[in-house]
Structure 1
Amino acid sequence: MDQNTDPNAAAPAGTVAPYDIARIMQAIPHRFPFLLVDRVVEIVPNVSAVGIKNVSINENFFQGHFPQHPVFPGVLIIESMAQTAAVLVVETLGPSAQGKLVYFMTVDSAKFRKPVVPGDQMRVHVVKEKQRGNIWRFNAEAKVDGKVVAEATYAAMILDK
């Protein structure tokens, strides 16, 4: 999705309506301070999703990471990828996702290309690689201003609460 696209415009064919923060909180159990996706602007069920994380200096981890040079922690970039994927899983499974949680299993090939800092809008592009039973595998890229800042391949397991 182009960064200049109106987030309130109608969804392209094959996609579902964007998820605002209230809908995200209905889909996944994460809450402040660990909810790391603010909006999901594009979802193609069973295929891909694009989430947005607006990085703000008000986030508590910047007090220690690092006070003189605040940098969004890489592990939280990966978590933002996982939460975007969890929304994709919930949308794909529909009503059968009720009462289930998406648990991280593996993270492979994580690479951090450029620091993410307060004021950045991180766009997380997640693509489902494969699914076997209750195990899903994803590829993801996080971008700021259209440039890749991080990438990873990871797997998750879908289980009852």
Structure 2
Amino acid sequence: MSQKAPTAEEALHTTLDMSFEDAVPFVQLEHELADFETVKVTRLDRMISGMLGEEVSQTALLVVCHPTIARDAIEIDQELAGMLPCTTAVYEKEDDDLVHVHHFSATKAIRDLGCCPGDDDIEELIEFTGERMTEVWENIETHS
């Protein structure tokens, strides 16, 4: 049975009533408390401004990786390492005063793009990833 790619409505999304500068390390810490290691925090708005001389809304990418997810993905197929790590976006919108936090599942993308063998291992990995990210999201919403 073929799967369809997740829609924006199926992604994890929440809003925070705090400054952008406070939100980025807060969201990073909540990932780390759920055993995700921070690989990199990138400020897209600064990159775009510095390289293109254009201004965009404040936007950061939190690139994180969970050791169990990484291990299980490469045990399925080492090429899947190219689909890791997970990324969460923290951004502002011009039409509201909130900070948005948004995450699409990398493991669902692996499945939906047909990047893995057709077996149950990827479904188990998607389930485990979902459990870990659910913990992150619940903590973000509880502690914000």
Structure that is richer in strand per residue: 1
From the two aligned structures, give the one with the greater helix fraction.
Answer: 2
TM-score under structure 2 normalisation? Answer: 0.29
Structure number with bigger Rg = 2
**Larger RCO, structures 1/2 (Cα 8 Å, 6+ apart):** 2
